[in-house]
A and B are shown apart, each in its own frame.
Chain A
Amino acid sequence: MDFMRPAGALGKYLPVKAVVALGFMLALSIARFNLLDNYIQLVLMLIGINLILTLSLNLVNGYMGEFSVGHAGFMAAGAYVSSILSVRVLASYSPVWVFPCAVLAGGLAAGVVGLAVAVPSFKTRGDYLAIVTLAFSMIVKSVIENIDAVGGPRGFLGMDKLTTLPWVFFWTVAAVWIIRNFIYSRFGRGVLSVREDEIAADLTGVNTRNVKMLAFVVSSFFAGIAGGLYAHLIQYISPGVFDIVKSTEMLVMVYLGGVGSIAGSMIGAATYTVLLEALRPLGIWRMAVMPLLLILLMIFRPKGIMGYREARWLSPSFGRGTGKDK
């Protein structure tokens, strides 16, 4: 089948690119012509946002083997910075430019916060680092609660509904693409080596400090992006939205789908979001049934759905055939 595969890097992922292009067209036309019910569109967008969050947490928890329980703090930073920008600072400009800039700025702000969390991670590991991340998310929440200019505990509103299906699709693809390439880059190998054995990684010349810093910044950047998208979708944010429960939700999605796997993050985020919506008729009992399903899944599949396995089209050996025609 060699003749069907054009040579060079462009051709290798042609089917993937075609699917992405098709998906983007589909997202555009769904949003433009309202092909789908508004509720289904909302659920699709939530899946995308949750996917970005799950990927970002998976980078730290799954690939780097640390245990962050405070990712909602990064999300909060992104959500507030982007909302403040779009409501207070950039309101007079055309929304076509405001939105991407605001979301990007939110991501960058969250990246800076991530840098601050990365520094303690040089010294502490495991459960102690978990506490550091938790403390950071609590501090972010407390700081927001104490700034009256952004509404304090009452929350912040006034954002236009700028998050649309094509935008969510764009950022989701960007997150998958960047994080996937990051993992298979030289730095990404460093991230994996920190997970396997930090001391050995250090001894073999991996600059573990840089690796950790970069991984935290990339991870929190995308959590911030997701926060910006979320804020402009729901159009209301408050410190209470980004509490431990939100972080727990992200953890559940990561471990449900399986750590250390991009395909796992996709499955985890989609399954969790859809299941949560599907159980809505149960009303108040919904969140009691959901964890029971999760516990059963964990007992019968302790590594999550995809734990440490990757979909073929995401791995670098994709398109190389069976190895015989190398």
Chain B
Amino acid sequence: MIYFFQQALNAAQLGSVYALIALGYTMVYGVLSMINFAHGDFFMVGAFLCFVGVVVLQLSFIPVLLLAMAGVTMLGVATERVAYRPLRNAPKASAIITSLGVGIFLEHFTLGLSPYPKYIPPVLPSFSFNAGGVSVSTFQLATISISFILMLALYLVVNKTRVGLAMRAISADRGIVPLMGVPVDKIIALTFALGSGLGGAAGVMYAMAYPVIDPYIGIIIGWKAFISAVIGGIGNIRGAVLGAYILGTVEIMTAAFLPSTYRDLVAFSLLLILLIFRPHGLLGRAESQKV
């Protein structure tokens, strides 16, 4: 039973990382109905900024976190401005292909700068304490609590502010909102800023849990986070968080109780079964098609 709780804690940690990334996917999808395939690589850049902050600049934890979030936020806004905005009225596929292109570029640009995997020394004093037999490390505590704070902040921004209202309005009907005087370009840029900032934070959290990073970590983690967003119902913020914790739990529990090579197999099979029964995710609404 203690083993189970230990794994549940690990699941919460992994789920938090997935949730932060999945939020970026789902928010961009909400306002643009576009999948930002470069988002996983934004997360990777966040992890590398963590490396820069810890090893090169010798910063402590909070400044590193802020550095990664600010850097990735700027990257996200710049990407939107340069690569996505000119294509907003083009066919959907063109924006998809530029986002794939941005992703490949970020991976290999980083690879060019850092051809070998990088090790990040612990940024927090590393010790664990015993809570009723379950060992809790400072990293786990920091990951879970900071993601919780960030998610709460995002929830407040989206639901309690005028900007959030504008975001929700754009997501409901992008055609009519500009007529109401909402500056759509600014709101979309802001959505990218928020989503990428969370991705940058996730990069730091990931780098604390798995301290050896390479430029390709964004691919698989990014897709897993995207899957979390789909499980929850893409475009739905609460759904993304729910999906992330479900996926994190499934992955950790599979690795804990089955050979760890079965992890992806079980996770993806569950996803398929879920999509057969709930084709629009757990919290997603099936759009009624008018004929």
Q: Please tell me if the beta carbons of A131 and B227 are within 8 angstroms of each other in the complex.
A: yes
Convert B93-136 into 0s and 1s, putting 1 for each residue whose CB lies closer than 8 angstroms to a CB of A. 11011101111110111011001000000000000000000000
Q: Which of B5-13, B55-63, B147-155, B264-272 lies at the interface with chain A?
A: B264-272
Bound-state Cα–Cα, A146 to B261, Å: 7
Q: Among residues 236 to 258 in chain A, which have CB atoms less than 8 Å away from a CB atom of chain B?
A: 243-245, 248, 251-252, 255-256
In the complex, what residue of chain B is closest to A247 when comparing beta carbons?
B100
Q: Which of A11-19, A102-110, A283-291 lies at the interface with chain B?
A: A283-291
Contacts of A101 in B (CB 8 A): none
Q: Please tell me if the beta carbons of A142 and B94 are within 8 angstroms of each other in the complex.
A: no
Contacts of A127 in B (CB 8 A): 29, 35, 230, 234
Convert B21-57 into 0s and 1s, putting 1 for each residue whose CB lies closer than 8 angstroms to a CB of A. 0000000010000010000000000000000000000
Given the interface contacts A252-B101, A295-B101, A299-B83, does A199 sit within 8 Å of B107 by beta carbon?
A: no
Convert A258-286 into 0s and 1s, putting 1 for each residue whose CB lies closer than 8 angstroms to a CB of B. 01000000000000000000000000111
Given the interface contacts A123-B276, A291-B101, A299-B83, does A307 sit within 8 Å of B91 by beta carbon?
A: yes
Q: Please tell me if the beta carbons of B108 and A287 are within 8 angstroms of each other in the complex.
A: yes
Within 8 Å by CB of A290, from B104, B111, B112, lies B104
Bound-state Cα–Cα, A31 to B108, Å: 35
Bound-state Cα–Cα, A299 to B84, Å: 9
Given the interface contacts A127-B230, A134-B223, A139-B269, does A285 sit within 8 Å of B94 by beta carbon?
A: no
Q: Please tell me if the beta carbons of B265 and A143 are within 8 angstroms of each other in the complex.
A: yes
Bound-state Cα–Cα, A142 to B266, Å: 9
In the complex, what residue of chain B is closest to A61 when comparing beta carbons?
B93
Q: Please tell me if the beta carbons of B100 and A288 are within 8 angstroms of each other in the complex.
A: no
Q: Please tell me if the beta carbons of A284 and B112 are within 8 angstroms of each other in the complex.
A: yes
Q: Among residues 112 to 157 in chain A, which have CB atoms less than 8 Å away from a CB atom of chain B?
A: 120, 123-124, 127-128, 130-132, 134-136, 138-139, 141-143, 145-146, 153
Greatest chain B CB density within 10 A among A128, A131, A302 is at A131
Contacts of B226 in A (CB 8 A): 131
The tally of residues in A whose CB lies under 8 Å from a CB in B reads 49
Within 8 Å by CB of A302, from B91, B109, B259, B280, lies B91
Contacts of B234 in A (CB 8 A): 127-128
Bound-state Cα–Cα, A244 to B234, Å: 20
**How many CB-defined contacts (below 8 Å) exist between A and B?**
135
Contacts of A136 in B (CB 8 A): 268, 272
Q: Among residues 214 to 255 in chain A, which have CB atoms less than 8 Å away from a CB atom of chain B?
A: 243-245, 248, 251-252, 255
Within 8 Å by CB of A295, from B83, B107, B108, B264, lies B83
In the complex, what residue of chain A is closest to B216 when comparing beta carbons?
A245
A4 at the interface (CB under 8 A from B): no
A292 at the interface (CB under 8 A from B): yes
Q: Output the least CB separation between B139 and chain A (Å).
A: 28
A-B contact pairs, 14 of them (CB 8 A): A127-B29, A127-B35, A131-B226, A138-B268, A139-B265, A139-B272, A142-B265, A255-B93, A285-B112, A287-B104, A288-B109, A290-B104, A291-B102, A304-B94
Residues in A lying within 8 Å of B, measured CB to CB: 61, 67, 120, 123-124, 127-128, 130-132, 134-136, 138-139, 141-143, 145-146, 153, 199-200, 203, 243-245, 248, 251-252, 255-256, 259, 284-288, 290-292, 294-295, 298-299, 302-304, 307
Closest 6 CB pairs of A and B: A302-B90, A287-B108, A291-B101, A142-B265, A302-B94, A255-B97
